[in-house]
Structure formats: structure tokens, C-alpha cells
Amino acid sequence: MPPRLRNYFAFGVAAALALAAGIGLAMFDRTPADTTSLLALSLPDSAGKLQSMAQWRGKVLVVNFWATWCAPCREEMPDFVRAQQEYGAKGLQIVGIAADNADKVQQFAEEIKLNYPALIGGYGAMDLSKELGNSLVALPFTLVLDRQGKVAYTHLGPVKADKFREVITKLL
């Protein structure tokens, strides 16, 4: 490639990367959501007992919005079960909020031996997740809050196991 052409090529590639990164950041990296209303919330668990989010203050809190009608949500949950088992004693608390009904949630929770609370949010959970940055209102949507209750990580779609471990171990 002649030097001048190579310059153009390099310039083009660099410009494309910079633009993609810039546009990507503008689209996805919004100001971290305010978690005040989330942490003030109380929701019933699958047994019908009201659980307040405030009880987990001070822990590294992972909030996973899911539903039984969402296959990718169900598929990633065994990894959350393993993470809760492994890091629970160190201060990790995973909480699932299901856009679903209690019967289905209970049935699935038993099936995978869920070891963390599964709260029932109904379709209202979808609106709540939207306020927390789930602009597409799709599932699964996962938030990781640090011990101060600030959003450290959000992700739409199944969380990659190694990335998830990297995020939580940094906060624990």
C-alpha cells in the first residue's frame, strides 16, 4: 500500500473506532441510576412474605430482573446460585425480582434449588427496571450495587460468568 493511501486507511479506521466508541458511550453509558427508590422498596417473596430491600444495606447487592417465561434468564441463574454459595459469606447478596407470578417462580426456584430471595414484581418490575437503566425494558437485566448502594455495573442480557466474578470480587 502506498504511504499516502495507508495514511488515509489508518485515519479512516481510527475515525470509525473513535466514532463508534463515542456513539456507543453516549447510547449506553448513562449517568448511574438513582437507587433510592429501589432500596426503599418492599416486595413479596414467592412464599408471600414481604421482604424489604433495605435489609441488605451494606452488602454487595446484585439485583437480577428475570421471569420464568424468559429462557435466557433461567439459563444464567445456576451461575448466580453458585456465586451466592461462594461469596455469600463475604457479603454478596443476590436478589431476583421476577416479572412473573409467584407459582411459576416458586416452581422454578425449587427446580434449581435457588439459594437467594426471589421477589415477585409482576410486570411492574419491568417499569422499575426501566427506571434503573433498562431502557429497552427487556430481560434479563442485572444491576450490581456496591456496599454504599451505588450502581457499579448494569447489564442487559445474560451476564458472562467471568465478567460477573470480576465485578463482584472487586467490590467485596
Partner 1 sequence: MTERLARLLVFAAALTFALAAVGQARPLSPDKAFLFSARAVDAETVEARFTIADGYYLYRDKIHFALDPASGALLTPALPAGKVKQDEFFGRVETYRGSVTVNLAIRNFTPGKPLLIRAESQGCADIGICYPPTTQTATVALPAGSVAPSAPETPKKTWFNLVSER
User: Contact between 1 and partner 1 (CB under 8 A)?
Assistant: no
- Smallest gap from residue 56 Cβ to partner 1 (A): 26
Instruction: Report the distance separating Cα 11 and Cα 26, nearest Å.
Output: 22
- Smallest gap from residue 43 Cβ to partner 1 (A): 17
Task: Give Cα 51 distance to the centre of its chain.
Answer: 19
Supply 27's cell numbers.
Answer: 447510547
* 3-class DSSP assignment, residue 153: strand
User: Contact between 101 and partner 1 (CB under 8 A)?
Assistant: yes
Site stretch for partner 1 (CB under 8 A), options 32-40, 113-121, 135-143, 163-171: 135-143
Site stretch for partner 1 (CB under 8 A), options 38-46, 71-79, 89-97, 143-151: 71-79
Residue with Cβ nearer partner 1 (88 or 158): 158
Return the closest-CA partner of residue 163 out of 149, 148, 153.
153
Return the closest-CA partner of residue 64 out of 136, 6, 116.
116
- The end-to-end CA distance of the chain, in Å, is 51
* Per-residue x/- track, 22-61, partner 1 (CB under 8 A): -xx--x----------------------------------
Instruction: Report the distance separating Cα 56 and Cα 44, nearest Å.
Output: 15
Which residues form the interface with partner 1 (CB under 8 A)? 8, 11-13, 15-17, 19-20, 23-24, 27, 67-75, 99-101, 104, 108, 111, 122-123, 126, 136-140, 156-158
